[in-house]
A and B are shown apart, each in its own frame.
Chain A
């Protein structure tokens, strides 16, 4: 078949496996100084005073900078500009940096950091979100007169009235924990004052354009005076936005002050201490069903801990709002979510973004209701799931793409042998000393930003005179394979081998801001922009060469040739040479704008997202009744990704997401007490290892999305958002014990 797309490719594989990939901390420049952060010793305090005189006099020290040295805005943020990049006046959490010590070596910078003297009036921290919202609680929110950081809602019908007439009302309370992203590479930045007056940043981050905004704010310079250059990044998972950008901004401050390059590299403890976490939620659900299993009404209250600063809490909450009933249609819904400011570590974006918490509750409620009504978990899901051309709880009609929730669930049920295994679950009666269970969960996930923000992205295709191709796009390579996917899309569009293409090293000065690399939008938006740029280039070439090749509308780009099928054609190289001969640059700029969405924030109604990813995952577990330990025996998944462009990487993301979700389900737990994190390294904060993970099988379902230029939707976040409730349901089916809190911990006394 012509243009059979290559579907396995990774442009950075060789560099990474051979250790030649250059991360920010690998950069060494002549005259480069080293900065380290100086942390507060308080959790909550006022009247902060910082005396850096002894530190400034220490050997090798080039400067010690505090908030007083900031030429621009000390405070910045993506929604509320409340985060102090260097602490001033009031300390609100233990992650606050009171000064930046800079010396000729890192060792000397660390020695100087220890000499910074901090005094302040200590206050008792507010750490419980419920208490923080109680009347009379001390106000810890910056610029606020209470601690309510956000309030989101859904109002659809009269839920209270409908609930009163339901045959069954399931009333349950759940909680989820704070989770650390645990990206392999901690934050790192190198800031370089260039002779042209531009400050260049190379650093580990997810969002070069967001980073540029933080840097420009702190320095008080224009966006054009800062250039953030793409640097190999060792993972982000949503966690390399605010904090990573602030690390870059601090390095920039020191570089600007000293007129020399400055490196600031975090160690794991600093990263744990300062970087934001996944929001811990408390969720209360009251869901009413009729006897046949139809979910008729829901009253839902959620409370989440926003920590000391706002970050993207309102956006995270918004997704919890739009998806508060999981992938089900419920006619009457009253939902409120409140976020409390506390003195805990701040919370922000993490892969899943407000969905894993909600799904943990909803997918257990469905199993609970099914059992009480004498229905199977599959029956109750089939009855209530969103359907083709049907409505969502926000009043959106799903008629622009294939709604494949039933298809993915059937796939997992088939792959896992769910029904036969469900009958074999032990329900608390151990067999051969073990308890056995299987459980599943389904979800739908609005792709990309939805009504969260303006959603568009661009790409540039620049063909050189020898026919080789340079590609640039405004979606960042975090380690997920974004560049490889972009290159594969371009190769397919142009009918060229991917080897003819190079992904140029991007920077914020070379391409327009394409939005952040978040929200499962990399392939959808970045890949979409590449496809649009390629199509723009093909249109330009077809029109320019029409006199030679024939009807522009009939010209095809296939197998390295350009022409109308059955007519004389040109090789790609000949076609490009003709373009240059005619003084027409084979250069195209493409934009993909997401289709319009809508939202009424007072009622929580509207077309929340322009498309959805449909998912099902299942887990098979064994529980040791003597220890309460849960072992995973097998994991299954099926996701409708629209189209898998790079199949092994798509599966890799699915499997990686499942491992991350297994960690959230069974082991990860930030030990916070009094606003201090007790487990600030990976020896105490445990994430899953290969030995903790069983065989996994993911079957991709591909219903190309008509609104996506490539047909692809995405996989990043769907993969992580529903395994925890699948495991919780499996644990219930094994033990008869319902686990409402994360991480799942079983008391062996309950298993007797």
Chain B
């Protein structure tokens, strides 16, 4: 509340990238603000500059084409994902996870891009993006680079993004369309809550995929799982990949147990 910052709202990408280049780590991009503003209020983030990215004309772009796949602009909200018919029909995993993210009010503000840039281990949207081989388009004054979400997260609240870089767009390849799966998220209350643990189980051409949140420093993907394995064997593979901790919400032991419980529950639904 005490922290003061300069607010900028550029209306073009070059303008925005120039601001980020100029101010480096002292600038934070504002999309929905559902993570950034509480963090500023609690003194966790102290940016000198808050750069609002929502005025860029391409911010809300959400389009699908067989050649380019699904393009999710940096300003696309979680609610927009839920409202979009193409997403619901062709990329149901995104809608499945979006449904579980926070509350209606938060979903109206929060963006898909913000959810992954925040890089919380409990990110809901990271799980379908991992299962769908999605990529992040990172822009800076020196150009664009594309990073798979498999490499995107490096730790709690940490990503491969460098100072001056901006998550301009998320791309989901057309080849990933029509992948089906089920998401289970354990919460302390029904409705809006951070997950104690979340498991998304999905089918893909290379076998089953299990994406897990809140059970390691980053969201975790285990791919290429033989679809004929039983739940115990799938659980064993996933247990090797996760590294949960004890925290105010529950113990590491309970998290491990619940990952197994969810795999046992979801596997028959995904294999059906």
Contact = CB atoms under 8 A, between A and B. Distances in A.
Interface in B175-201: 186, 188-194
Contacts of B188: 667, 686
B120 to A, nearest CB: 13
Contact of A107 (B2, B189, B192, B265): B2
B90 interface: no
A110 B1 contact: yes
A691 B248 contact: no
B190 A689 contact: yes
A686 B190 contact: no
B149 to A, nearest CB: 26
Given A114-B2, A686-B189, 13 more contacts: A107-B2, A626-B264, A626-B265, A627-B261, A629-B186, A667-B189, A678-B248, A683-B194, A686-B188, A686-B193, A687-B189, A689-B191, A748-B261
B11 to A, nearest CB: 30
A299 to B, nearest CB: 35
Interface in A109-129: 110-111, 114
B257 interface: yes
A670 to B, nearest CB: 10
B110 to A, nearest CB: 14
Query: In the complex, which of the residues A114, A629, A690 has the most CB atoms of chain B within 10 Å of its own CB atom?
Result: A629
Query: In the complex, which of the residues A627, A629, A671, A749 has the most CB atoms of chain B within 10 Å of its own CB atom?
Result: A627
Interface string A660-702: 0000000100010000001100011011111110000000000
A238 B123 CA distance: 38
11 contacts: A106-B1, A107-B1, A627-B258, A627-B261, A686-B193, A687-B189, A689-B190, A689-B192, A691-B189, A691-B191, A749-B257
Contacts of A690: 191
Nearest to A671: B248
Given A110-B2, A679-B248, A748 B257 contact: yes
Contacts of B194: 683
A102 to B, nearest CB: 15
A686 B264 CA distance: 28
Contact of B186 (A627, A678, A749): A627
Contacts of B2: 107, 110-111, 114
A687 B188 CA distance: 9
Closest 9 CB pairs of A and B: A691-B190, A626-B261, A110-B2, A686-B188, A691-B191, A111-B2, A671-B248, A678-B248, A689-B191
Nearest to A631: B190
Nearest to B192: A689
A612 B108 CA distance: 50
A692 B190 CA distance: 6
Interface string A82-120: 000000000000000000000000110011001000000
A749 B256 CA distance: 12
Nearest to A693: B190
A670 B188 CA distance: 14
Contacts of B249: 684
Contact of A684 (B191, B248, B265): B248
A691 B103 CA distance: 12
Nearest to A689: B191
B230 to A, nearest CB: 16
A177 B186 CA distance: 23
Contacts of A686: 188-189, 193
A233 to B, nearest CB: 24
Nearest to A743: B188
B189 A689 contact: yes
Contacts of A749: 257
Contacts of A626: 261, 264-265
A599 B257 CA distance: 53
Query: In the complex, which of the residues B2, B194, B264 has the most CB atoms of chain A within 10 Å of its own CB atom?
Result: B2
Contacts of A627: 186, 258, 261
A683 B35 CA distance: 13
Interface string A635-667: 000000000000000000000000000000001
Contacts of A106: 1
Contacts of A671: 248
Interface string B83-111: 00000000000000000000000000000
Interface in B1-36: 1-2
Interface in B206-264: 248-249, 257-258, 261, 264
A255 B258 CA distance: 55
Contacts of B191: 689-692
Interface in A509-554: none
A692 B261 contact: no
A110 B43 CA distance: 12
A107 B188 CA distance: 35
Nearest to B41: A267
Contacts of A107: 1-2
Contacts of B192: 689
Nearest to B184: A627
A626 B268 CA distance: 15
A745 to B, nearest CB: 9
Contacts of B189: 667, 686-689, 691-692
Contacts of A629: 186
B256 to A, nearest CB: 11
B28 to A, nearest CB: 20
B66 to A, nearest CB: 40
Contacts of A684: 248-249
Interface string B116-145: 000000000000000000000000000000
Contacts of B261: 626-627, 748
Interface string A611-636: 00000000000000011010000000
Contacts of A748: 257-258, 261
Contacts of B193: 686
Interface string B66-81: 0000000000000000
Interface in A574-606: none
B248 to A, nearest CB: 5
Nearest to A748: B257
Contacts of A691: 189-191
B116 to A, nearest CB: 20
Nearest to A690: B191
Nearest to A688: B189
A224 to B, nearest CB: 38
A692 B191 CA distance: 8
A465 to B, nearest CB: 52
Contacts of A689: 189-192
Contacts of B248: 671, 678-679, 684
Nearest to B38: A683
Query: In the complex, which of the residues B186, B189, B193 has the most CB atoms of chain A within 10 Å of its own CB atom?
Result: B189
Nearest to A433: B265
A554 to B, nearest CB: 60
A397 to B, nearest CB: 46
Nearest to B194: A683
Nearest to A678: B248
A749 B188 CA distance: 19
B173 to A, nearest CB: 34
Contacts of A687: 189
Nearest to A663: B189
Nearest to A625: B261
B117 to A, nearest CB: 20
A194 to B, nearest CB: 31
A727 to B, nearest CB: 15
Interface string A239-257: 0000000000000000000
B259 to A, nearest CB: 11
Nearest to B1: A110
Nearest to B190: A691
A678 B248 CA distance: 7
Contacts of A678: 248
Nearest to A269: B42
B85 to A, nearest CB: 27
A427 B193 CA distance: 31
B99 to A, nearest CB: 14
A671 B192 CA distance: 20
